[in-house]
């Protein structure tokens, strides 16, 4: 009994060993193969012969049908060789750039799947297709070449006739799976002599693939000899000009004496060109025309896109392969000062608003140091006697300096802007912007407020604001512009007849935005408001 029991147990163990040894394993290799032209796929593993009797039955994800999509040969217990049928695919990729092919089942006559779980056996990529092109490009003057096709999501290598080397002769940018952009390196050529540029072989992951074998490749461009005009270059410049500046000079090389034409991004044509040798040309604006018209976008560059000799073809300009043009000037709106007869006081009026056109608010929009200048009558000096705040392109505010007067040595005058420079030079104006009169006499109440140039943050509740003057009392009401209210926006502390202290209430602001805080008038309880100036 014991012997029989032992034999029975041994038989059970041997049966388990036989089942265990009958499993199939597959090596996860994932070679990259082309979906239509890779002829064979080798799958490595174990048990392809010994795991069962008869030839194995294979199943894949995505599905493939043996005999219809592929045939296979069991080369050994460790190797299967699959061969793609003519006109079939390893996987139907659709719009995908790649797909993984899994072996999901290996079974024999008993129908049992001997593969423990699906195993990746290949990465399938689209077979690359290159479209033939007879587009003409120039030996060295053409900066870029576009190649169209399909299945171009990844490029491992390309071979041209005549030879071109990536990163030595050109750089490659993959725009999409259907388009490549080759940018020629400086000093390199597409080919040494005129003729076709042929893409002979390409590798997008599945190995070097011969393109159009009967023809030795696919022609992607026809290379022509450079034209004489391709020696034209234009030197970029940020020289400032106004919309109506009569003329300015463009510097470069290869201009020649036979006449030049220039093309701009804004399509301006109302100008003539006078060539000044081979390295300079003067552009002269026709009467009534402007270099740029859209004032909302000024100051802004005047971009030259292309140039040509008389009777020759256009040569694109630019510092990069994209040839997006050269900026040859920065255009400012024509400055205009509008007249005004507004009445102001000589020292009591602290701010004068000037209207016009072409004022530049943001000095960072131009690529060089910029500062507005004005010539005034009386001869006030900017930054010393007054400062300028540009509100927008049509308005600016002149602010009188502390202890200064608009009329300088007299008590009344007509304030004129004689000339203004908003960025491209002085432009004569000779326009009255304000009529300045004598200051009002000190009010009978004795109230006055001293002007201050203190700078505070709009929400600085931690920093009290001291106001100095004369005739102050404890029960005054201050009228500000922009309006702020005592006990709502700020608290007021009476220090003396010549000083009060204002403290901003936490959570409030002195002003909604940056700018001067103006005390318009002071009202003592029971009295009329006393105007403090403007």
Same domain membership, residue 468 and residue 383: no
pLDDT of residue 256: 72
Q: What are φ and ψ of residue 360, in 5° steps?
A: -105, 115
For 463, the 3-state DSSP assignment is: coil
The answer to the question of residue 13 being in a domain is no
Q: Is the dihedral of CA 147, 148, 154, 155 positive or negative?
A: negative
The first and second tokens of residue 481, run together, are: 């512009």
Same domain membership, residue 343 and residue 429: yes
Q: d(Cα 11, Cα 435) in Å, to the nearest integer?
A: 122
Same domain membership, residue 327 and residue 304: yes
> How far, in Å, are 250, 266, 296, 392 from residue 360 at the CA level?
25, 22, 11, 7
Q: How far is CA 152 from the centre of its chain?
A: 26
The answer to the question of residue 16 being in a domain is no
The answer to the question of residue 152 being in a domain is yes
Q: Report the DSSP beta bridge partners of residue 375.
A: 419
Q: How far is CA 382 from the centre of its chain?
A: 37
Structural domain including 463 reads 448-531
The answer to the question of residue 358 being in a domain is yes
Same domain membership, residue 389 and residue 375: yes
The answer to the question of residue 62 being in a domain is yes
Q: Report the DSSP beta bridge partners of residue 277.
A: none
Contact, 101 vs 62, CB < 8 A? yes
Same domain membership, residue 176 and residue 92: no
Q: Which helix (H) or strand (E) holds 433?
A: strand 427-437
Same domain membership, residue 344 and residue 279: no
Same domain membership, residue 298 and residue 247: yes
Half-sphere exposure of 127 (CA within 13 A, CB side): 16
Q: d(Cα 478, Cα 171) in Å, to the nearest integer?
A: 70
Last residue of a domain, one of 332, 366, 383: 332
Same domain membership, residue 168 and residue 115: no
Same domain membership, residue 240 and residue 220: no
pLDDT of residue 350: 85
Same domain membership, residue 141 and residue 121: no
The answer to the question of residue 288 being in a domain is yes
Of 486, 490, 485, 425, nearest to 456 (Cα)? 490
Q: Give me Rg for the CA atoms of the chain.
A: 42
Last residue of a domain, one of 84, 102, 125: 125
CATH number of the domain where residue 66 is located: 2.60.40
Contact, 384 vs 401, CB < 8 A? yes
3-state helix, strand, coil in the chain (%, to 5): 5, 45, 50
Q: What are φ and ψ of residue 161, in 5° steps?
A: -125, 120
Same domain membership, residue 263 and residue 210: no
The tens place of each residue's pLDDT in the chain, 534 residues long, gives 344 443 333 333 333 333 444 589 999 989 999 999 999 999 999 999 988 888 999 999 999 999 999 999 999 999 999 999 999 999 999 989 999 999 999 999 888 999 999 999 999 999 999 999 988 888 887 889 999 999 999 999 999 999 999 999 999 999 999 999 999 998 899 998 889 999 999 999 999 999 999 899 999 999 887 765 567 888 999 999 999 999 999 998 888 766 788 999 999 999 999 887 888 999 999 999 999 999 999 999 999 998 887 766 777 887 555 557 889 999 999 999 999 999 888 988 888 999 999 999 865 554 556 778 999 999 999 999 999 989 899 999 999 988 899 999 888 999 999 999 999 999 999 999 999 988 765 566 678 787 777 788 889 888 899 998 888 888 888 988 889 999 999 999 999 988 999 999 999 999 988 878 888 888 887 777 777 765
Q: d(Cα 482, Cα 492) in Å, to the nearest integer?
A: 17
The answer to the question of residue 6 being in a domain is no
Q: Which helix (H) or strand (E) holds 21?
A: helix 2-21
Which residues neighbour 178 within 8 Å (Cβ) at sequence distance 6 or greater?
148, 149, 150, 152
Of 400, 373, 375, nearest to 385 (Cα)? 400
**Number of Cβ within a 10 Å radius of residue 80:** 21
Of 200, 210, 196, 204, nearest to 178 (Cα)? 204
Q: d(Cα 467, Cα 479) in Å, to the nearest integer?
A: 13
pLDDT of residue 216: 92
Q: Output 505-508 pairs: Cβ under 8 A, ≥24 positions apart.
A: 505/461, 506/461, 507/461, 508/459, 508/461, 508/484
Last residue of a domain, one of 185, 206, 224: 224
Same domain membership, residue 268 and residue 179: no
Half-sphere exposure of 384 (CA within 13 A, CB side): 7
pTM over 0.75: no
The answer to the question of residue 5 being in a domain is no
Domain count, the chain: 5
């Amino acid at each position: 009994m014991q012997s029989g029991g032992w034999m029975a147990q041994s038989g059970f163990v041997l049966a388990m060993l036989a089942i265990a040894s009958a499993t199939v394993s597959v090596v996860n290799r994932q070679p990259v193969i082309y979906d239509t032209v890779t002829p064979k796929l080798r799958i490595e593993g174990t048990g392809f012969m010994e795991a069962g009797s008869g030839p194995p039955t294979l199943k894949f994800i995505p599905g493939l049908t043996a005999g219809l999509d592929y045939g296979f040969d069991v080369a050994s217990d460790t190797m299967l060789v699959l061969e793609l049928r003519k006109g079939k695919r390893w996987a139907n990729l659709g719009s995908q750039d790649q797909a993984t092919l899994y072996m999901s089942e290996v079974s024999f006559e008993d129908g049992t799947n001997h593969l423990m779980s699906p195993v990746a056996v290949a990465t399938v990529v689209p077979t690359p297709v290159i479209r033939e092109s007879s587009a003409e490009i120039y030996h060295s003057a053409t900066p870029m070449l576009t190649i169209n096709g399909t299945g171009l999501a990844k490029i491992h290598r390309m071979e041209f006739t005549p030879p071109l080397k990536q990163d030595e002769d050109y750089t490659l940018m993959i725009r999409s799976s259907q388009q490549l952009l080759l940018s020629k390196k400086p000093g390199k050529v597409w080919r040494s002599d005129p003729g076709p540029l042929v893409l002979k072989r390409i590798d997008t992951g599945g190995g070097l693939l011969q393109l159009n074998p009967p023809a030795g490749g696919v022609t992607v461009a026809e290379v022509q000899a450079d034209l004489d005009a391709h020696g034209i270059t234009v030197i970029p410049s940020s020289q400032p000009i106004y919309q109506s500046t009569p003329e300015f000079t463009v510097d470069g090389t290869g201009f020649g004496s036979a006449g030049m034409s220039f093309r701009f991004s804004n399509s301006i044509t109302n100008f003539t060109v006078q060539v000044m040798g081979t390295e300079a040309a003067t552009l002269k604006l026709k009467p009534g025309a402007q270099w740029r018209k859209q004032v909302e976008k000024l100051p802004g560059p005047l971009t030259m896109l292309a140039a040509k000799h008389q009777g020759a073809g256009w040569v694109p300009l630019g510092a990069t392969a994209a040839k997006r043009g050269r900026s040859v000037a920065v255009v400012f709106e024509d400055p205009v000062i509008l007249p005004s007869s507004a009445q102001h006081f000589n020292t009591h009026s602290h701010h004068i608003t000037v209207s016009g056109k072409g004022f530049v608010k943001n000095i960072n929009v131009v690529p060089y140091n910029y500062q507005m200048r004005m010539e005034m009558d009386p001869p006030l000096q900017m930054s010393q006697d007054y400062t300028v705040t540009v509100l927008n392109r049509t308005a600016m505010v002149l602010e009188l300096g502390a202890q200064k007067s608009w009329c300088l040595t007299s008590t009344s005058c007509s304030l004129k802007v004689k000339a203004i420079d908003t960025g491209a030079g002085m432009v004569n104006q000779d326009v009255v912007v304000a009529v300045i009169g004598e200051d009002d006499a000190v009010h009978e109440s004795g109230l006055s407020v001293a002007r201050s140039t203190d700078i505070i943050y709009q929400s600085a509740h931690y920093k009290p604001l001291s106001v100095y003057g004369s005739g102050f009392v404890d029960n005054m009401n201050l009228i500000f512009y922009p309006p702020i209210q005592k006990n709502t926006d700020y608290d007021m502390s009476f220090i003396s007849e010549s000083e009060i202290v204002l403290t901003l209430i936490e959570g409030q602001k002195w002003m909604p935005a940056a700018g001067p805080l103006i005390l318009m008038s002071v009202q003592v309880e029971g009295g009329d408001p006393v105007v403090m100036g403007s």
